[in-house]
Amino acid sequence: MSVTYIDAIREAQETLLREDPRVFLYGQDISKFGGAFKATKGLAEAFPGRVLDSPISEDAMVGMAVGAAIEGMRPIVEMQFADFSSIAFNQIVNQAATHFYRTGVPVPITVRLPSGGTPGSGPFHSQSMEAIYAHYPGLVVVTPATVADAYHMLIDSVRLDDPVVYCEHKFLYRWLKAPRINGDGLPIGKARITRPGKHATVVAYSAMVHEAVRAAERLKDEGGWEIEVVDLRSVKPLDIDTVLASIARTGRLLALGEAFPWGGVTAEVVARVCAEGFHLLDAPPRRLNSRDTPVPYHPKLWAAHRPTPESICLALRELLSF
């Protein structure tokens, strides 16, 4: 029996609740209903009083979690959609992110953000907000792309003393499967070489890792190109050493992300590579993101809005031809 990405998130929360009495879950409709995506299904019955329904106020949800964390608890807050976390922005970036700096008292909260687009979700249920939170000192921002990372990175996030924004991709919830949850995982802040190669490097994270691999397989079949795919796994901290080591092997960089292009993770990757690894490049680095418009509702427009294997292949062909 296979394990899905959403199964891994649920199992991680079950493990944390079982092993650490300081952990509790807080969010809208997460108790008996099991959450909008059923990531907490059955946990309220298994752990009475520790899976709590919140009011429909993201600001209040995170504010309560900050207070509980200051007092020694380890709350996991579930946002129904990443987009709605903007309502809790003040609590996340002005309270949780700065509290240890101001007082020396840690705030070990984990805020789960169901991120990214799915067909028909539109502009209010599809955003990728990892770069916004990565901008602020004091926050850790993780973006698991595999079933194993969905499990291990959630456990590691809750065990950190820092506040963590855990960006889980909705498109992966039931599409991505694995035979089992393997190993202990890599530490937060360490990237993974998902696919080795020698002609170009694609640096990606979250669901775009899988699109990059699809594009790499097409280019291998098309022209024998060997594309290396680096999964960042977390965007803050950012493992620039693994990225630079990959570019030292390939000489070319495509930074790939589903978020909007302006000021995003891909821009940071390109800037860091140009500053620290310009001598390694044989071609100007490129980046590919979703279009700079709100996310459209129609599935065909949504497919044209975000990077796809086709658009990734096109960008890589141009990069390889330089």
The three-point CA angle 154-160-166 to 5° equals 35
Q: What are phi and psi of 315, to 5 degrees?
A: -65, -40
Q: What is the DSSP pairing of strand 140-142 with strand 234-236?
A: antiparallel
* Beta-carbon count within 10 A of 287 CB: 19
Residue 257 is which amino acid? G
Residue 144: asked if its preceding bond is cis (omega within 30°), the reply is: no
Classify residue 284 as exposed, middle or buried by CB count within 10 Å of its CB (0-12, 13-18, 19+).
Answer: exposed
Q: Are the beta carbons of 250 and 201 closer than 8 angstroms?
A: yes
Give the C-alpha separation, 111 to 115, whole Å: 12
Q: Are the beta carbons of 88 and 139 closer than 8 angstroms?
A: no
The three-point CA angle 159-81-105 to 5° equals 30
Buried b (16+ CB within 10 A) or exposed e, 61-91: bbbbbbebbbeebbbbbbbbbbbbbebbbeb
Is-catalytic flag, 169?
Answer: no
SS3 34: coil
Buried b (16+ CB within 10 A) or exposed e, 140-178: bbbbbbbbbbbbbbbbbbbbbebbbbbbbbbbbbeebeb
- Looking at residue 157, what DSSP letter applies? H
Give the C-alpha separation, 151 to 224, whole Å: 35
Select which of 99, 125, 152, 210 is catalytic: 125
Give the residue numbers marked as catalytic: 125
